[in-house]
Chain A
Amino acid sequence: MEETTVQTEHMAKYRKSNLWKQVFRRLVKNKMAMTGLGFLIFIFVFCMIGPFFSPYANGGVDAININQPPSAEHWLGTDALGRDVLTRLMEAGRISLTVGLGAMVMSVFIGTLLGVLAGFYQGIVDQIIMRTADVLMTIPGLPLLFIMAAVMSEWKVPAENRLYIVMVMLSIVGWSGLARLVRSQILSLREREYMHATESLGLRDRRKLFVHLLPNIVPLLIVVGTLSVGGAILSESVLSYFGLGVVPPTASWGNMINAANSLIDFQNRPWLWIPPGVAIFLTVISINLLGDGLRDAIDPKMKSR
């Protein structure tokens, strides 16, 4: 008797995780997505752990060895201040990845919250939220970011805190698309019979929203969230390239490319801009491959529901 209950308990747990296991199995079969995931893991380890093994960590300036091409001591050469480019690439990666992830988390949070509220309460709440989203979506993202960044530059934020400002800016620009998607899902979910049933059970709105509706949109959030990290990294790079995002001495991939903004540097010192450029390119591509793979892995299950 004891044994059978333990067994059934175990079976139930197995089934509970089964849905996600299926997704995982489908994802693993997707070679492109796995390549993307593999590269992301690599770049993550590279950036987060790499600097600990570098003798040039913490941006040591070396006035003698400026603008050196790649060599045995400096695998990717040195920059105009004599800093090791490889080490800087890793440190910049930390910042760029952090900004990308942070901006994603914030914009997913804002987008989900506002989308859920708009879809659930409709009426005036919906109007206010969706008109704001419309406005944000009609203004092209980059000019808007430039304007915000210019305004914020006036505030004299210390360089090491600029990355948080960038995250906030990116999430302000980035939430609207997700909010729209979430809202339309909620609109259709709230008409489901089980939502009417929650009404007849006298459940509070809080329960209806967070217990009943939110789990239904988790797959959407995962896919959109993953894909948005790529966009955030790109936007951060562009802003930083123009000196409006993360500013030196804090390194980011974007402002590293900026170091090569003169034609002479561009032509004669490709080790300054090719590594960060390649890092941005490969990271963003990998994120997109993984995001697409996740969408494909999750979709069939959503259909079968």
Chain B
Amino acid sequence: MSDNTILDVKKLSTHFFTENGVVKAVNDVSFSVSEGQTVCIVGESGCGKSVTAMSIMRLIEDPPGKIVDGEILFQDKDLIHASKKDLRRLRGNDISMIFQEPMSSLNPVLTIGEQITEPLFEHRLLTKKQAKQEAIKLIELVGIGRSNEIFHSYPHQLSGGMLQRIMIAIALSCDPLLLIADEPTTALDVTIQAQILELLKEIKEERNMSMLLITHDLGVVAEVADYVVVMYAGKVIEQGSVLDIFKDPKHPYTQGLLQSKPVLNQRKKRLYSIPGQVPNLIDLKPSCYFYDRCEHRMSICGGSIPEKMEVDDNHQVACWLYEKEEVRT
């Protein structure tokens, strides 16, 4: 699987330099996405999921943000040192992104058609007529009828679910290799959520596209993920195949997440909430960041940060509980 890796993120650290101090939003995060694979990043609000995605797209605003360390390789191209021009060619073309809020992600004064055709002009250099035909096809592809009428309408004339379909159409317009979806269903109501997810899944399979899906909905993870990355306070605390994570979660945090509902193929709105608070990302102590909320904490946990270690094939966890095990065997 790893020989057709599309995206390789190695030891990525993205910090925000604010007045109150350095926010370590993403801290030593590594994972990879291979061809046709769906990787899900899960975690509570504020754990750095979006910042990870934005770092990959190189959309972190500098200042205040900065990728301070690590490597991002997309098809062996180094994105961190890529030129502006190269990035522009890549975005919307090889890597596309869809956002949480479809309502505000479209320009209110431009028609849907005008917005779908833009990347086609920009990256595929189509003529006006070709672009229109292509746009109509895309609108139909994402499951909206009356494509001609939709082409000429304005965003405020469509529902949230339809707009998210349009966003997907725009993202797909240049046949990307990787689609990054940052909580694409959070702003929609439940029945629409399922439809959008189904659509993404279908299209992904049809095109053998890779997908990096960000969510805090474990139901979504169970439904679409091949591989899961669990983040906590800017760090990856566990990662593994979807089966490993659901059947045999190792980290106390993951276990907590799954505690109330570890059943596959069943959907739930919110994460089971673990008592306690996410630590402030500004002054993190050199301890396990989950220390305050962990039921299994030991003395060592309060004194040093656990390293990520392999507990199984392709299943890694950062927790002192397993360090001992590893040392023993």
Q: A12 touching B151 by the CB < 8 A rule?
A: yes
Give B101-117 interface residues, CB cut-off 8 Å to A. 101, 104-111, 114
Residues of chain B within 8 A of A42, CB atoms compared = none
Chain A nearest CB from B307 CB (Å) reads 34
Considering the complex of A and B, which 10 residue pairs feature the smallest CB-CB distances, nearest first?
A: A12-B152, A202-B91, A201-B92, A8-B149, A202-B92, A193-B104, A202-B88, A200-B97, A215-B109, A194-B107
Give A167-211 interface residues, CB cut-off 8 Å to B. 192-194, 196-204, 207, 211
Q: A202 touching B170 by the CB < 8 A rule?
A: no
Residues of chain A within 8 A of B57, CB atoms compared = 200
Q: Does A13 contact B (CB under 8 A)?
A: yes
Give B87-105 interface residues, CB cut-off 8 Å to A. 87-93, 96-97, 99, 101, 104-105
Q: A197 touching B108 by the CB < 8 A rule?
A: no
CB contact under 8 A between A215 and B152, given known A194-B104, A201-B119, A207-B118: no
Digitize A113-127: 1 where CB-to-B-CB distance is under 8 Å, 0 elsewhere: 000000000000000
Q: Does B5 contact A (CB under 8 A)?
A: no
Residues of chain B within 8 A of A13, CB atoms compared = 152
Interface residue count on the A side (C-beta < 8 Å): 27
The CA-CA distance from A8 to B146 in the complex, in Å, is 8
Q: B110 touching A200 by the CB < 8 A rule?
A: no
Q: Does A15 contact B (CB under 8 A)?
A: yes
CB contact under 8 A between A193 and B99, given known A9-B148, A201-B118: yes
Cβ contact of A15, chosen from B59, B107, B157, cutoff 8 A: B157
5 contacts between A and B (CB under 8 A): A5-B148, A8-B148, A9-B148, A16-B154, A197-B105
Q: A199 touching B122 by the CB < 8 A rule?
A: no
Chain A nearest CB from B103 CB (Å) reads 9
Q: Does A261 contact B (CB under 8 A)?
A: no
Residues of chain A within 8 A of B122, CB atoms compared = 201-204, 207
Residues of chain B within 8 A of A15, CB atoms compared = 152-154, 157
Q: Does A63 contact B (CB under 8 A)?
A: no
Q: Does A11 contact B (CB under 8 A)?
A: yes
Q: B152 touching A202 by the CB < 8 A rule?
A: no
Chain B nearest CB from A229 CB (Å) reads 25
CB contact under 8 A between A305 and B118, given known A11-B149, A13-B152: no
Q: Does B132 contact A (CB under 8 A)?
A: no
Q: A212 touching B119 by the CB < 8 A rule?
A: no
Q: Does A132 contact B (CB under 8 A)?
A: no
The CA-CA distance from A16 to B149 in the complex, in Å, is 11
Question: Who on chain A is nearest to B103 by CB?
Answer: A193
Question: Who on chain B is nearest to A200 by CB?
Answer: B97
Residues of chain A within 8 A of B96, CB atoms compared = 200-201
Digitize B122-142: 1 where CB-to-A-CB distance is under 8 Å, 0 elsewhere: 110000000000000000000
Chain A nearest CB from B190 CB (Å) reads 23
Interface residue count on the B side (C-beta < 8 Å): 38
Give A1-34 interface residues, CB cut-off 8 Å to B. 5, 8-9, 11-13, 15-16, 19
- B contacts, CB < 8 Å to A: 57, 59, 87-93, 96-97, 99, 101, 104-111, 114, 118-119, 121-123, 146, 148-149, 151-154, 156-157, 167, 170
Residues of chain B within 8 A of A192, CB atoms compared = 104
Residues of chain B within 8 A of A161, CB atoms compared = none
Q: B149 touching A199 by the CB < 8 A rule?
A: no
Residues of chain A within 8 A of B149, CB atoms compared = 8-9, 11-12
Q: B152 touching A193 by the CB < 8 A rule?
A: no
Residues of chain B within 8 A of A5, CB atoms compared = 148
Q: Does A216 contact B (CB under 8 A)?
A: yes
Residues of chain A within 8 A of B156, CB atoms compared = 305
Cβ contact of A202, chosen from B101, B109, B119, cutoff 8 A: B119
Q: B111 touching A202 by the CB < 8 A rule?
A: no
Chain B nearest CB from A18 CB (Å) reads 9
Q: B152 touching A211 by the CB < 8 A rule?
A: no
Question: Who on chain A is nearest to B107 by CB?
Answer: A194
Question: Who on chain B is nearest to A212 by CB?
Answer: B107
Q: A196 touching B114 by the CB < 8 A rule?
A: no
Chain A nearest CB from B216 CB (Å) reads 20
The CA-CA distance from A194 to B118 in the complex, in Å, is 13
Residues of chain A within 8 A of B97, CB atoms compared = 200
Q: B104 touching A212 by the CB < 8 A rule?
A: no
Q: A12 touching B118 by the CB < 8 A rule?
A: no
Q: A200 touching B154 by the CB < 8 A rule?
A: no
CB contact under 8 A between A12 and B107, given known A201-B92, A201-B122: no
Chain A nearest CB from B151 CB (Å) reads 7
Chain A nearest CB from B313 CB (Å) reads 35
Cβ contact of B153, chosen from A12, A199, A201, A305, cutoff 8 A: A12
Residues of chain A within 8 A of B106, CB atoms compared = 194, 197
Q: B59 touching A305 by the CB < 8 A rule?
A: no
Q: A203 touching B105 by the CB < 8 A rule?
A: no
The CA-CA distance from A199 to B60 in the complex, in Å, is 11
The CA-CA distance from A212 to B106 in the complex, in Å, is 10
Q: A202 touching B90 by the CB < 8 A rule?
A: yes
Chain B nearest CB from A24 CB (Å) reads 17
Residues of chain B within 8 A of A203, CB atoms compared = 88, 92, 118-119, 122
CB contact under 8 A between A202 and B89, given known A12-B151, A207-B118: yes
Residues of chain A within 8 A of B170, CB atoms compared = 201
